[in-house]
Amino acid sequence: MTVSPVQSSAAAQKSATTSDASKALGNYQMFLQLLMTELKNQDPTKPADPTQTVTQLATFSSLEQAVKTNDLLTALNTQSTLSQGSSLIGRTITSADGTVSGLVRSITFDDSGLFANLSDGRQVRVGSGVSVA
């Protein structure tokens, strides 16, 4: 049985998602700072247009929800990858190049992907071309 590239794309997606989330969070924090500075430094003789303020607050709320949704999707992706990886435990796996083979005792998932930890102490990166028996 050949493992589909879902695991390797999941790691790439997790990395890209984390990067996007960091950018969005940075923009989110900058937006909040700019909004607060603008509100603090208003000219009392020319207050901000209430419609503009409401629009900015709506934008702020939308951005906050997008960041939360992104965090939830990242967690869901991680859980899915771990679930797929746990199905390998107790099975024999062979690396894509055929040089490493053995019984899977546990799995490890980090930013670089999903790894099968073999009974002899070696690791196999789970991805395209890896076969499972």
Q: Where are the beta strands (DSSP E) in the chain?
A: 92-94, 101-110, 113-118, 123-125, 131-132
Q: In this model, does residue 105 exceed pLDDT 90?
A: yes
- What letter does residue 67 receive in the DSSP assignment? H
Express as a percent the part of the chain with pLDDT over 70: 80
Q: Can you give the pTM of this predicted structure?
A: 0.54
Q: Closest Cα partner for 93 from 67, 68, 63, 117?
A: 117
The residue to which tokens 């050949």 are assigned: 2
pLDDT tens digits for 39-80?
A: 788 877 887 777 887 887 788 788 888 889 999 999 999 999
